[in-house]
Amino acid sequence: EILLTQSPATLSVSPGERATLSCRASQSVASSLAWYQQKPGQAPRLLIYVTSTRATGIPARFSGSGSGTEFTLTISSLQSEDSAVYFCQQYKNWPSVTFGQGTRLEIK
């Protein structure tokens, strides 16, 4: 099973600043990585797939990068509504997929 480790566990950033979230895979997943946002009391929402492609309706301030085992979700110009938990997901061996444990993003 491919394990995903996200860091940091919690991140606190001021509005207008940039947040950088990391996801490390236990083995190469090539570009088969997605990111999801989950706000309190809501279902997760797809943000990014195939490492860097934004899903429909996702603002351009969300961007993804990386390949192999190291991936990054960057949120530029943070807004209050970006406060959420962010999960990465790999699907290298689809349909078997795994999720990271999540990074909680707090807006100061």
Contact residues: another protein, CB under 8 A: 1, 32, 34, 36, 43-46, 48-50, 55-56, 87, 89, 91, 94-102
List, in sequence order, every residue forming a beta bridge with 75; answer none if it has no partner.
Answer: 19, 62
Of 74 and 77, CB closest to another protein: 74
CB of 4 to another protein, least distance (A): 10
- Residue 78 has which token pair? 């943070």
- The least distance separating another protein from the CB of residue 105, rounded to whole angstroms, comes to 15
Compute the distance between CA of residue 69 and CA of residue 80 in angstroms, rounded to an integer: 30
Instruction: Indicate the residue among 31 and 76 with the shorter CB distance to another protein.
Output: 31
Minimum distance, C-beta of residue 15 to another protein, in the bound complex (Å): 26
Residues 6+ apart with CB under 8 A from 91: 29, 32, 33, 34, 97
The CA distance from 31 to 71, in Å, is 9
Tokens representing 4 are 């995903």
C-beta closer to another protein: residue 13 or 97: 97
Q: Shortest Cβ distance from residue 2 to another protein (Å)?
A: 12
